Amino acid sequence: METEVKLTKLAQCAGCGAKVGAGTLAKLLDGIPTRSDERLLVGFDKSDDASVYKIDENTALVQTLDFFPPIVDDPEMFGEIAAVNAISDIYAMGADPKLALNIMCVTKDMPKESIQAILRGGYKKAYEAGVIITGGHTIHDQEPKYGLSVSGFVHPQKFLTNSGARPGDILILTKPLGVGILTTSAKAEFIDQKVMDKIYDQMRQLNKYARDIMVKYEVHSCTDVTGFGLLGHGYEMAQGSDVTIHFMTEEIPYHKEALSMADLGMIPEGAYRNRKYASEGVSKTKKINRALEDILYDPQTSGGLMIAVSENDAKNLLEDLQNTIPCAKIIGYIEEKEEKSIILE
């Protein structure tokens, strides 16, 4: 779809690269009073992907919210990616999404056709996820933005968090890295369209299918890898679980084009924020290419699930995932707490 004004030119940051850094966010939330409720199983104090509230013995409500500026110029595709990204947090909790509300910012001169296309893209992916969009809220802004507030359900004893990883667990990642670097490069017109078509397809892939498979196995922890990058989200998982994560860097999937772009310095600002936040908890057992490190800190938009699964179930889960998601790979393992939260080897 052609638009008179490229959406990405209207935004200073793209996709999850616009996310406030994890370190800054922690400072902003520090000292904010919280209220306790015996039914609130997960709140914002847990740095998790969504909140969880127990309704009864068999049902818990899972809620999340996510929106961002355009990461692509095609408005319908932007709507699809933003919706998939927002719904992903529900899947990361092991839950089933059901209801959503639109969150939208439009510029005063934004064409009606573009606004409708964004909403159409969101509805399309919500429908695929089995989610009903029941309304929303729209305001004027200097930049267009779109996303969803999503509600889902899970058994109160079966939800997953990013702080449940156990020593001996194996880590599986379901989507390759490098999205932030490549979308930054595309904005500067450094990347071939065929490469970007592959990236756009990946960002539009729901984590529903990974979630539906993983809940059959003994999974202890899960998070989706988005704005804080692999090492930012890994750092949160390691700290929350009081363990150390060993990442096998040669096994981590990434788009090879991102490596060459990182060598050229096409690094989104969010990657530097993620490095500043997480690097103090990272050590290396060998020399690692700087460009590869940049990919590990790269903010992902609509990234994959990082799953901590029991060692006994890891092989079967991986095989099951790869039947539907061929790019899924084992990328590391969990050990007892060491001096550093993350070890790159």
Q: Which residues are catalytic?
A: 16
Residues annotated in the binding site for ATP, as ranges?
19, 46-48, 66, 89, 136-138
Q: What is the CA radius of gyration of the chain?
A: 19
Tell me the C-alpha distance between 308 and 340, whole Å.
18
Distance CA 31, CA 135 (A): 33
Q: CB-based burial of residue 325 (10 Å sphere; 0-12 exposed, 13-18 middle, 19+ buried)?
A: buried
Binding-site residues sit at: 19, 46-49, 66, 89, 136-138, 224
Task: Report DSSP state, residue 32.
Answer: -
Token code pair at residue 204: 């539009």
Q: What's the CA gap between 191 and 187, in Å, rounded?
A: 9
Containing 148, the helix (H) or strand (E) segment is: strand 145-154
- Report d(CA 63, CA 87) in Å as an integer: 10
How far separated are the first and last CA of the chain, in Å rounded? 44
Residue with tokens 């490190």: 293
Residue 291, SS3?
helix
